[in-house]
C-alpha cells in the first residue's frame, strides 16, 4: 500500500485481535508514515471487523485489501482516476493475478475473465478484486450486511450493482494469494451456501424470486498419482 503512486489516502489497518507480532509491525509503519492508522480491536470475526473498520474510514472512496494479498503500485491512481472522471460510476474493479506464498505468479485471475453484467453477477462473482467504490453508494446500498458470516463482499456487490453503474478496469492491479489458510479454502462449503443466500436475496429484491430458483452443485474431484519410490 505504501508504494502507491497515488499518495492521498488513509491506510486503516484493523487488527482483529491478532496473537502474533502483526500489531507491533503495523505500529512500526504507523510511526514512519502519517497516512497509516491502526485500530487494535478484540477479535470480532471477518464480517463484524469489516463493518467496524468501514465505519472508521474517513475517505470519500472506500476499498479493502486482505492481509495476505497485495496491490500493484498504480492500483489506486488508476481506479481513483475513473471515479473522478465518471460520476455515474459508483464501483470500479480490476483484474487480478493469482500468486503463491513466495509471490510467484501462478496465473491470471479466472473470475475477472467473466464479462461483467448486473445479471451475470447473480451466478458469477466477477467483481472479485480490487474494488474501489464511492462512500455514498456504499451507504445507500446499506453497507456490509451483518447477517453474512461468509461472502459479505459478494452480497455487497450484488446490492451495489442494483443502484449504481459498475466499471471493469481490465488490468491486473491486484495480487490474490492462494494458500491452504485462505478463508475460501477453509470454509468452502459455508462460502458457497452464504453465496446462495446472497443470490436468493438479490432475486427477491429484483422481483425475480417467482421466476428463478438457485441450484447449487458442489463437486469433489479425486485422482490417483503414483507414489515416489527410492
C-alpha cell at 61: 472512496
Mean pLDDT of residues grouped by 10 in the chain (230 residues)?
95 94 95 96 93 94 92 98 98 96 92 95 93 97 95 97 98 88 67 94 96 86 70
The neighbouring-strand residues paired with 15 are 40
Sign of CA dihedral 168, 169, 172, 176: negative
pLDDT of 220:
72
Sign of CA dihedral 2, 6, 7, 9: negative
Task: Report pLDDT for 187.
Answer: 76
104-to-20, 69, 97, 170 alpha-carbon distances in Å: 25, 12, 10, 21
Domains and CATH numbers, the chain: 60-205 (3.90.550.10)
C-alpha distance from residue 35 to each of 12, 30, 59, 70, 140 (Å)? 8, 7, 12, 18, 27
pLDDT for residue 185: 52
Q: Against a cut of 0.75, is the pTM above it? A: yes
Amino acid at each position: 500500500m505504501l508504494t502507491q503512486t497515488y499518495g492521498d489516502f488513509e491506510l486503516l489497518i484493523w487488527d482483529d485481535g491478532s496473537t502474533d507480532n502483526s500489531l507491533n509491525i503495523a505500529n512500526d509503519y504507523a510511526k514512519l508514515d502519517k497516512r497509516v492508522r491502526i485500530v487494535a480491536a478484540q477479535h470480532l470475526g471477518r464480517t463484524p471487523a469489516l463493518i467496524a473498520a468501514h465505519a472508521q474510514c474517513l475517505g470519500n472512496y472506500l476499498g479493502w485489501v486482505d492481509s495476505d494479498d497485495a496491490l500493484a503500485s498504480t492500483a489506486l491512481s488508476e481506479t481513483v482516476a475513473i471515479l473522478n472522471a465518471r460520476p455515474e460510476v459508483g464501483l470500479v474493479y480490476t483484474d487480478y493475478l493469482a500468486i503463491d506464498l513466495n509471490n510467484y505468479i501462478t496465473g491470471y485471475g479466472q473470475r475477472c475473465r467473466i464479462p461483467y453484467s448486473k445479471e451475470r453477477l447473480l451466478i458469477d462473482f466477477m467483481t472479485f478484486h480490487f474494488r474501489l467504490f464511492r462512500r455514498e453508494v456504499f451507504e445507500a446500498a446499506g453497507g456490509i450486511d451483518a447477517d453474512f458470516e461468509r461472502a459479505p463482499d459478494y452480497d455487497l456487490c450484488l446490492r451495489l450493482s442494483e443502484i449504481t453503474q459498475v466499471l471493469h478496469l481490465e488490468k491486473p492491479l491486484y495480487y490474490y494469494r492462494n494458500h491452504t489458510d485462505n478463508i475460501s479454502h477453509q470454509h468452502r462449503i459455508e462460502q458457497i451456501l452464504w453465496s446462495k443466500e446472497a443470490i436468493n436475496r438479490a432475486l427477491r429484491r429484483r422481483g425475480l424470486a417467482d421466476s428463478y430458483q438457485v441450484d447449487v452443485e458442489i463437486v469433489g474431484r479425486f485422482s490417483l498419482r503414483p507414489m515416489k519410490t527410492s
